[in-house]
Structure 1
Amino acid sequence: MMPTAGGGGRDWPQYFRDREGVSEAYSYFTFPKAKYPDISMFLEAIPDISRVINLANDVLSFYKEERAGVKKNYIHQRAGYEGRDAIAVLKSVAKECIEACKRIESVLEGREPYKQAWLSHLHGYLYMHRSTNRYKLHEIGLGETSCAISSLTKDSFGTLK
């Protein structure tokens, strides 16, 4: 879709992105009711967990999509609406993803085992992208052949700035 003059549809890329996947469902899958029965412990983190699922996928899929010439994606749609190049938007999206992770961590702070469930989900999600040939991250030195870290820690987020 081409952006309208004046940027009237600037929220379209985010709206479309939120509906194209099932990130909200995956957010809830992080906390199976049998093991994590108190929904109040994680509910306010759900919007940001959904956002991280989408944005992390967009960032980690960008290389393979660029390599294949795919332009119909969130990064390129947003770049068109914002009048910026795709690399600048990619950097912004990566920062937004990190900020959402920090907000999730803030919500779940002191709420074990809910926090650990989130960190395990996040680590597994990132590992899946880094270890699957589909994303071709090994071509740019970001691939991973074995899962060496059992979970992410608060200190891990500081290195992602």
Structure 2
Amino acid sequence: MKGQDITHVYHFNERFVSCQPQADPVLSGLDVLLREVVHHYPPLVSNLIVASSLNFVSSLDHETKGMKILVDAPLYPEYSRLLSGLADAYGLFIFPPALPLGEYIQCMPDLRSVINHANDILSYYKEELEGETVNYLSLMAVSLGLTKQDALHQLSEKTVQAYHNTLQILRPHIEACDAFLGFFHGYFQFHSASRRYKLEEIMLEKSGY
């Protein structure tokens, strides 16, 4: 979607909640899919999935692009990442719809961190090569007064802890735990295998070739 078509994205949520037709066929497809979620998941889960998806669309708005990040707002990067990461939707999609919500809902704050920040960490090399300055790690470094390397180290430790917290919460519930482990294995493999992230360059460098 390019040019003036992107303006249709900014009006997606407004049209969605007012049941107005979308102005782009791709957005119309998304509209239909979000309205179908309720037919596949329990009410609370479907509400959270739709809310997460609408937050993602909100994060695409141009109003905050290029905004100066303040040292006095250290939590803003996390808030921004929460909106843009779709982590609640991704996280809820992990678990079978018939699984009782009580078996996994308490892991969601940690699981959200795992989903968002594993991506941030695995994207770091590619984004540094491309000179990215508005990604999560860049915003985190600025808001906390850190170098990017220090921010990466801090985020890595936080994400590892969130992973272990998620496992600890899910361990008593075998089906939920297996679903998470299967997801995480695939999530990591996806990043490792995708040329987009250029991780093979790091592996070659480490191996000396």
**TM-score (normalizing by structure 1):** 0.82
Partners of 1:62 and 1:54 in 2: how far apart? 12
**1:3 maps to what in 2?**
69
Structure 1 residues without counterparts, runs of 5 or longer? 143-161
- Pick the aligned partner of 1:89 from 147, 151, 155: 151
Which one has more relative contact order, counting CA pairs under 8 Å at least 6 apart?
A: 1
Shift in Å at residue 63 of structure 1? 0.3
Identity %: 33
In the alignment, is residue 21 of structure 1 matched against residue 76 of structure 2? no
**2:172 maps to what in 1?**
110
Q: Tell me the amino acid that sits aligned with residue 110 of structure 1.
A: P
Shift in Å at residue 137 of structure 1? 0.2
Shift in Å at residue 21 of structure 1? 2.1
Q: Tell me the amino acid that sits aligned with residue 138 of structure 2.
A: H
Say if 1:2 and 1:80, in contact at 8 Å, map to a contact too.
no
Partners of 2:72 and 2:145 in 1: how far apart? 13
In the alignment, is residue 58 of structure 1 matched against residue 120 of structure 2? yes
- Aligned partner of residue 174 in structure 2, secondary structure: coil
- Aligned partner of residue 141 in structure 1, secondary structure: helix
**1:133 maps to what in 2?**
195
User: How many residues end up aligned between the 2 structures?
Assistant: 138
Shift in Å at residue 46 of structure 1? 1.2
Structure 2 residues without counterparts, runs of 5 or longer? 1-66, 205-209
**TM-score (normalizing by structure 2):** 0.64
Partners of 2:78 and 2:175 in 1: how far apart? 31
Aligned Cα root-mean-square deviation (Å): 1.2
1:69-125 deviation per Cα after TM superposition (whole angstroms, max 9, x unaligned): 111111011101111100110011111110001110110112111111100101110
Question: Following TM superposition, where does structure 1 have runs of at least 4 consecutive aligned residues deviating by more than 2 angstroms?
Answer: 1-4
1:9-57 deviation per Cα after TM superposition (whole angstroms, max 9, x unaligned): 11111110100121100000000214xx211111101121111000000
Partners of 2:172 and 2:137 in 1: how far apart? 35
Q: Tell me the amino acid that sits aligned with residue 38 of structure 1.
A: P
**2:207 maps to what in 1?**
none
Shift in Å at residue 68 of structure 1? 0.8
